[in-house]
Amino acid sequence: MFDARLPVTTVIADRPCAALALARHNGAADELIDRKGYGGFGAAFDRSGYTATVTATLVAHQVDLVAMAGFGTVMTQTVHDAFPDRILNTHPALLPAFPGWHGVRDALAAGVAETGCTVHLATLEMDAGPILAQQVVPVLPGDTEDSLHERIKVAERTLYPATVAWALAELGAGRSIEPPATAARGRGETEEVRR
């Protein structure tokens, strides 16, 4: 996002990671809201309390659009009420196929010839929101989960910033972020999403 010169003002992480240092380096606010303080990653996790803190932090920073990437927490309705249809997420598969934490592994196990990445509106259900853009990545003979995931990340590094820029332009023009009439699905190159 920083390389695409998007107006990133705030980076929130749910665990210590390199994104926080990257935010500081680029002049954005860096906020660690560690899941450990809310019960961690097990059954004791306080999803409502965690969501309330994340939401309050985003509101305090006057964020217009939320773009999640690698944020391993599904949040409650509170954040969606504060940012209705303004939370984007990216997923390493061509949704609706292979939702969940292991999209790349699941695509390989299914023996598909192609997979890719999807940018969608986040909802309360994981990886089920309206699709904004997709890019196809072929599965090559001998691919491993790591090699395929790396190629998907390359596609995602173009598709996601382009989709975020489009969403910001929509908001700037006073329009809501809505999926195109047909899901944008590029074949090897990014298909721009426009209204």
Which residues form the catalytic set?
91
* Helix ranges, 26-144 (H): 47-60, 77-82, 103-110
Q: What is the dihedral of CA 42, 30, 1, 163, to 10 degrees?
A: 60
Is-contact 26 4, C-beta < 8 A?
no
Is-contact 137 148, C-beta < 8 A?
yes
Cα–Cα distances (Å) from 30 to 12, 18, 154, in that order, read 6, 11, 25
Residue 130 in tokens: 């309206």
